[in-house]
Amino acid sequence: MGLLNVFDVSGTGMAAQTLRLNTTASNIANAQSVAENPEDTYRARYPVFQAALVSQMDGNLNTPANAGVQVPGIVESQRDLVVRYEPDHPYANEEGYVTYPNVSVVEEMANMISASRSFQINVEVMNTAKSLAERVLTLGQ
């Protein structure tokens, strides 16, 4: 039944947005994390969203048209790491520089707001589908 597929579709959307929120939380939490090696320094992580297509437009109404969104993987930002001059830091190199993650907290905040809004909209859709399905159950009463 079409309406129950809405639950699956919105569910994948919510799962994807939750993952995005997770990576955002991880990025913000590690914004100031330093490592002994510059190669081991934390890099900002972002999920990759992809549309999960079950069937192409075959015009058949009984096949589920789509299965929502899927996350094939998480990528690390290739932006330059932030280097700061802190000679007193225990992880400073010979020249006195410490390598910090390439996390932009402002960007992460914007990402977080976007993710939470998208999550809310998916919840809204699911709620509407639920109330419609409830109305179907009371049909003819």
Partner 1 sequence: MKTTASVTPVNGFGERSVGRLVAAHYLERLGGPIKIGIDNALGIHPEALRLRAKRAELIANNIANADTPGFKARDIDFQSVLASRTGDRFSTSGVRRTDEQHMSLQNLQSTNGTHATLYRTALMPSLDGNSVDVQMEQTAFAQNSIQYLASLRFLNGRIQGMMSAIKGE
Site of interaction with partner 1 (CB under 8 A):
1-3, 5-6, 9-10, 12-13, 16-17, 20, 49-51, 57-61, 64-69, 114-115, 118, 121-122, 124-126, 128-129, 132, 135-136, 139-140
Kindly state the smallest distance separating residue 41's Cβ from partner 1, in Å: 27
Closer CB to partner 1, 32 or 50, in the complex: 50
- CA angle, corner 44, sides to 40 and 45, nearest 5? 105
Kindly state the smallest distance separating residue 111's Cβ from partner 1, in Å: 10
Cα 107 to Cα 113: distance, rounded to the nearest angstrom? 10
Closer CB to partner 1, 28 or 71, in the complex: 71
Cα 20 to Cα 112: distance, rounded to the nearest angstrom? 8
Cβ neighbors of 133 (< 8 A, separation 6 or more) are: 3, 4
Paired tokens of 38 = 């510059």
Kindly state the smallest distance separating residue 57's Cβ from partner 1, in Å: 5
The answer to whether 133 and 4 have CB atoms below 8 angstroms apart is yes
Closer CB to partner 1, 32 or 128, in the complex: 128
